[in-house]
Amino acid sequence: MNTNVKLRLGDMFDGPADLIVLPCLTSGTITGFVARRLVQHSIPHPKYGMALGDVEIMPFEGAEDIAQFVAFAASVDGNKSDIKCLVNIGRAIGQFTAENSSVKYVAAPLLGAGAGGIQSELVAAALREGFGDTAAPDASLVIHVLHQEIYDRLKGNRRFIQGKSKDPIRVFISHTSKTSEASNWVKSLALYLIEQGIQARLDGFHLRRGMDLQQWMCNELSMARKVVVVCDEAYKQKADGRLGGVGWETMIIQGDIAGLPPDSTKYQVVVRAPELDKGLPTYLRTRYAFHAPGPVQDQAFREELVKELLDLPIDPTFETREFAL
């Protein structure tokens, strides 16, 4: 049973997620708080006539800064809810993560705890049960709590919220692939990282047609615990010239790096160019980079990259990394 369910104090609209769950009544009506957000982002309302426990999931078009998908969960009928319907909602959300590899981070409120009158502890336990029954092993459900008093009460009761000792690490791979060889190299690396239990995020795997590319990049960089920047001559040219998607990513990455402590290891740089300085963008020249001009199947390189991503001890004899100024 997947138990990766966590609590977070605050508004679930404050940061990006892969899927955001919004409560609604079976009549299709929503709370004033949610209604104001839908108007703000020009999002359609849920359909009329949903049964208690039904979940309607759709692309969150117009609000990609919040999530890729939105789920309307019918958690209240009239002025009541029940535990069974909340378990069913958790199962439906979990099943969606199992069927959609791009969805790993789900944000939800305490469904049914307000208008439905269900005790917050029981809501948390029901969502955890249902989500755990069906969710992908590396998916997380984050229950957002608006009030400090309720948050403290739930955090103090471990019977209702039990998270994994360590969440799967989410890694975004920034790259440009002008050739099929470069594209295949990056895809092979991403698949290897996934095999090691890492949530490797790649545009070729997770970017849906019709999505706002720049907003998707912003979301991925924000949600990533680590970022792998795969550089070559083409990447350097676009980064230094602020061209295309790489140019946009460069501005975002520079801003993010500026806010990180000096010893941060969030950004791991991999240079594929035969000569290090010819593939390293100017803004990354002070980074201690991997130099991996060979095939992606280079086992020493792959193992050391995984160690860096997982913050494991590095072999001091490993010599395929270089420092360029």
Evaluate whether residue 277 is within a structural domain: yes
Transcribe 64-116 into DSSP letters: TTTEEEEEEEEEEBTTB--HHHHHHHHHHHHHHHHH-TT--EEEE--TTSSTT
Evaluate whether residue 160 is within a structural domain: no
For the chain, the average pLDDT equals 82
Single residue among 95, 127, 155 that ends a domain in this structure: 155
27 with 146, same domain: the answer is yes
CATH of the domain at 257: 3.40.50.10140
55 with 136, same domain: the answer is yes
Count of domains forming the chain:
2
Tokens representing 278? 């010819």
- 176-228 pLDDT, tens digit per residue, is 877 888 888 888 998 999 888 898 988 877 777 666 677 778 888 888 999 99
Does residue 164 carry a pLDDT above 60? no
Strand order, beta sheet including 55-59 = 5-9, 140-145, 105-108, 17-25, 67-76, 55-59
184 with 132, same domain: the answer is no
79 with 15, same domain: the answer is yes
* Percentage, residues of the chain above pLDDT 70: 82
Which is more confidently placed, 61 or 300? 300
131 with 178, same domain: the answer is no
311 with 241, same domain: the answer is yes
283 with 212, same domain: the answer is yes
What phi and psi values does residue 220 have, to the nearest 5 degrees?
-65, -40
Structural domain containing residue 92: 5-155
315 with 191, same domain: the answer is yes
pLDDT of residue 316: 54
Angle (CA) 123 125 130, round 5°: 95
- The mean per-residue pLDDT over the stretch 223-249 comes to 89
Q: Band the pLDDT of 94: cuts 50, 70, 90.
A: very high
174 with 307, same domain: the answer is yes
Angle (CA) 93 223 157, round 5°: 60
129 with 182, same domain: the answer is no
126 with 174, same domain: the answer is no
Evaluate whether residue 162 is within a structural domain: no
192 with 113, same domain: the answer is no
pLDDT of residue 210: 67
- 108-156 pLDDT, tens digit per residue, is 999 988 777 888 889 999 999 999 999 998 899 999 998 888 888 888 7
Evaluate whether residue 163 is within a structural domain: no
Single residue among 121, 155, 189 that ends a domain in this structure: 155
Evaluate whether residue 83 is within a structural domain: yes
Evaluate whether residue 33 is within a structural domain: yes
